[in-house]
Amino acid sequence: MAEKIRPERRIFASRGELAKALADAVSKVLSGAIDARGAGFLAVSGGSTPGLFFAELSQMPIDWSRVTVTLIDERLVPASSPRSNAALAMEKLLQGPAAAAKFVGLYHEADSVEDAAEHANEALKALPWPLDVAILGMGSDGHTASFFPDADNLDTLLDPRQEQLVLPVHAKSAIEPRLTLTLATIVKARFLGLHIEGAEKRAVLDRACDGESLPIRAVIDQASRPVQIYWAE
């Protein structure tokens, strides 16, 4: 029987309180990184969940001019698309003080998602790896990043020895082809947070922690530090 894993959980009475607490934690890590090495490096997720968190984080008193922001994953759509994670980050996070940050997205116009992934790898190589902060979301199917259970290359995406920063993803449940940071890239983050909301997602996380083989379980297993769970109803 698989060993039960219980990452550190922080439970909040409201989504607003969660957003403020997560923004404060991320701010401290980024400011510490700037003090230690002159730069902070953050990767964020898309979807409907992080809007409040982005709004709070954007106002934090960080030296944003020394912060680089990238994405955990992206659909193969330009920033003009309402389904673009880059568009969400630019609209909700890269505002106010945070507008001074450098943003490096994953999308590149290309003939295929495979070509786009190659372009993304080249663009990201020059960034200050490893990530200081990676903030993940999770779907009701247990996927995180673009590690969909039905992805045709899921084993490659989750390979802890994977050397590529970004890989392409084809999954029927994802609708569009996707680009994603690999598990090996994400789990090296100095602060790895999982931001989830609602009873359904909490139940999915519990199943993963109890041993069910879901993509989020692979991240929890391979993380270099305990994953920090932020949850509110």
- The CATH code of domain 18-223 reads 3.40.50.1360
Q: Where are the domains of the chain?
A: 18-223
125-172: pLDDT as tens digits:
999 999 999 999 999 999 999 999 999 999 999 999 999 999 999 999
Return the closest-CA partner of residue 219 out of 167, 144, 164, 148: 144
Please list the pLDDT of the chain residue by residue as tens digits (233 residues). Answer: 445 556 899 999 999 999 999 999 999 999 999 999 999 999 999 999 999 999 999 999 999 999 999 999 999 999 999 999 999 999 999 999 999 999 999 999 999 999 999 999 999 999 999 999 999 999 999 999 999 999 999 999 999 999 999 999 999 999 899 999 999 999 999 999 999 999 999 999 999 999 999 999 999 999 999 999 999 99
| Torsions phi, psi for 43 (to 5 deg) | -120, 130
pLDDT value at position 14? Answer: 98
Q: CA 172, CA 149: separation in Å to the nearest integer?
A: 10
3-class state of residue 212 by DSSP: coil
pLDDT value at position 3? Answer: 53
Q: How far apart are the first and last CA of the chain?
A: 30
pTM, 2 dp: 0.96
Q: Which helix (H) or strand (E) holds 88?
A: helix 85-92
| Helical axes 51-58 vs 15-37, angle rounded to 10° | 50
3-class state of residue 86 by DSSP: helix
